[in-house]
Amino acid sequence: MRKWLTRSIFAYFIYGLLVYWYLFVFSDTGIPAPYIGTQADPETFMTGREQLLSQEYSTIRNFLYLVTVPFEWFLLFVFLITGLSRKTQEWSQATSRFSFLQSAVYFFWLSLFISFLSLPVNLIGYKISTTYHITTQSFPAWMKDQLIDFWVNYLLMATIIIVVFWLIRRFEKKWWLYAWFLSIPFSMFLMFVQPVLIDPLYNDFTPLKNKELETKILELADKADIPAEHVYEVNMSEKTNALNAYVTGIGSNSRIVLWDTTLNRLNDDEILFIMAHEMAHYVKKHIYVGIAGYLLLSLFGLFFIHLLMKFCINRFGSLLKIHSMKELTAFPLFLLLLGILTFASNPLSNTVARYQEKSADMYAIEMTNNHEAAISSFQELSKAGLSQVNPPTLIKIFRYTHPTMLERIIYLEEHGKGNVEK
């Protein structure tokens, strides 16, 4: 056990050094020569201080992301290899003779272990965001959100673990297929209830107060044949200075939401472009394409997890203190493999998402025909969030669900020039 712990700590340390070298030494985030002086060049819309802060903040946040993703995997590995998982299984079995209660108790202690050891890392991220004036949230309010996160994630994951391990015990060879079938209605249910049950736990949502702007947005929605009756605003200025707008939910529970920071910082034309972009996702059915893609990936993912769990238990069962896939003590291995496969699939899912986002941008510019407002909205988004205009390649591949600001502004500029030439 000590040998494997030492190896994993050493590997994690080397990985951290490589990430630091890549982000702080190797990566070139400057603007390519052909685009210097264009509207995509930060020097044309950011002050020197804003450029410096953007580079510092983005690099630090990217470093934290890349080093914290495997940190949770490391904690799950420690939970297994030290025997904590087996001891927790024994405690949970002693509390009740009902397997679903045993699963709930087991996962509570596992969640508490992961959350407690991850809290210092999350706190570092919070402190960095407040230092760079991205986060405006007080520490008590931030802790409140952390507690809400814990209980929401616990209830959702406890439900999953109860069902998954019931399936494994009943259908050891085909559990992954039955779990996938059940994930379809479960995913749809979550998307349906999220806007009305989960999101309000964190923020207050109200109909847009600016009725003149709401009228313009609803006219835009009518132009796109979208049956929208309300636009919502959310009081995010209590938590952040960043800007955002999004569409959430499905069916009758779908909502178009604007952060109040966006309302405060962008003018009406810029907001209309952002809204047209969000409406494009509805018109082009990107939400349903995303659901279909997620379900397809999850089918293969669950199958691979099944194969990998069998291999790991057969090969390393004594080291991980796992005797059978049917045991609760195998659940950290399930989460570990799920995390690794999810991270490995990010390049594919992000590529599809970036294609959809570009498609939404082009739909929005065709609808509004206001290139100046479109470009200035992206410039303001970069300034407010201290975002890198041209991030490192690996960051784009693994983190970016949207095209980079460099790409978005350049293709809007080219589209505008094309219209002028016509």
pLDDT tens per residue, range 303-359: 999 999 999 999 998 888 999 888 889 999 999 999 999 999 999 999 999 999 999
Share of the chain above pLDDT 70, in %: 97
Give me the residue spans of the domains in the chain. 2-20+49-203+285-421
Q: How confident is the model at residue 253 (pLDDT cuts 50, 70, 90)?
A: low
Which residue do the tokens 């899912």 mark?
A: 349
Is residue 260 annotated as part of the catalytic site, yes or no? no
Which stretches within 132-267 are classed as H helix?
139-170, 175-193, 211-223, 260-265
Q: Is 357 annotated as a binding residue?
A: yes
| Whole-angstrom distance, CA of residue 227 vs CA of residue 132 | 40
User: pLDDT tens digits, residue range 121-130?
Assistant: 999 999 999 9
Q: Is the pTM of this model over 0.75?
A: yes
- Return the pLDDT at 363: 93
Share of the chain above pLDDT 90, in %: 53
Q: Which two tokens stand for residue 10?
A: 């050493």
Q: Rounded mean pLDDT of the chain?
A: 89
Which residue do the tokens 């909502």 mark?
A: 255
Lowest mean pLDDT, pick from 177-191, 262-276, 320-334, 367-381:
177-191
Active-site residue identified among 41, 270, 327, 361 = 361
pLDDT at residue 421 tops 60: no
Is residue 361 annotated as part of the catalytic site, yes or no? yes
Burial readout 24-62 (b: 16 or more C-beta within 10 A, e: otherwise): eeebebebeeebeeebbbbeebbeeeebebbbebbbbbb
Q: How confident is the model at residue 249 (pLDDT cuts 50, 70, 90)?
A: low
Active-site residue identified among 214, 270, 278, 327 = 278
| Whole-angstrom distance, CA of residue 100 vs CA of residue 169 | 12
Mean pLDDT, to the nearest integer, of 387-397?
93
Q: How confident is the model at residue 60 (pLDDT cuts 50, 70, 90)?
A: very high
Contact residues for 34 (Cβ-Cβ < 8 A; gap 6+):
none
Contact residues for 136 (Cβ-Cβ < 8 A; gap 6+):
130, 237, 238, 239, 240, 241
| Whole-angstrom distance, CA of residue 216 vs CA of residue 226 | 14
pLDDT at residue 18 tops 80: yes
Residue 17 CB coordination number (10 Å): 10
| Whole-angstrom distance, CA of residue 124 vs CA of residue 128 | 6
- Return the pLDDT at 349: 92
Asked if 358 contacts 343 with a C-beta cutoff of 8 angstroms, the reply is: no
- Return the pLDDT at 30: 86
Q: Is 219 annotated as a binding residue?
A: no
